[in-house]
Amino acid sequence: MALVEIAAPAFDVFVDLRYATADNLTGNPIYRRAACYLREEAAALLRRACELARPLGLKLCIFDAYRPPAAQWALWNHMPNPDFIADPKRGSHHSRGVAVDLTLAAPDRRMLEMGTEFDAITPLSYHADTAVSPEAQRNRLVLLGLMSAAGWDFYAKEWWHYQMFQPRGFPLIEDGAMAPSLM
């Protein structure tokens, strides 16, 4: 098992790891540094999504990827809502290195309108919510199409969350394994 760092130039993405800043639902940094990792298999799917976005003049902006279990506990302890935060006792798909939170961006880093912010704990965050603007609905569908075509599965309650199919088939990656300086 190996984790791959997701960063330019190897990946044509922007990285804005929100849990390395206070700009997240906890209001506090959870990671010590903004380093983005995925399992090799997930990294290959992300690379394919980048290739599909490029002809549309779009890039992907990554908010989160591999999340150490201790970070999952920090999120759960802040807001134990199983609709939006995976119970760390069961294990998060992020803590398996097979999930990514992301959005679409223009080449100038301007993020496209999605109707809510990343990590908005509200039904407005659901993929199929029609209370958001038509522009946001369209952008969510473009993201869904790109990610699905690249081989990703989605989580219906978070427009930003994608995961590999059958994620529980991958073991949890414990804190300190492969990405020790995240926490």
Q: From the CA atom positions of the chain, what is the Rg in Å? A: 15
Q: In what order do the strands lie in the sheet with 59-64?
A: 13-15, 59-64, 99-105, 161-163, 153-154
Q: Tell me which residue range forms the domain holding 76.
A: 3-169
Q: Give the pLDDT confidence score for residue 32 in this predicted structure.
A: 84
Residue 153 lies in a domain: yes
Number of domains in the chain: 1
pTM of the complete model? 0.94
158 is catalytic: yes
The CATH number of residue 126's host domain is 3.30.1380.10
91 vs 162: which has the higher pLDDT: 162
Residue 175 lies in a domain: no
- Which member of 41, 135, 158, 174 is catalytic? 158
**Chain segment 1-35, per-residue pLDDT in tens:** 689 999 999 999 999 999 999 999 999 999 988 89
Query: Which of 82, 74, 7, 84 minimizes the C-alpha distance to 43?
Result: 7
Residue 174 lies in a domain: no
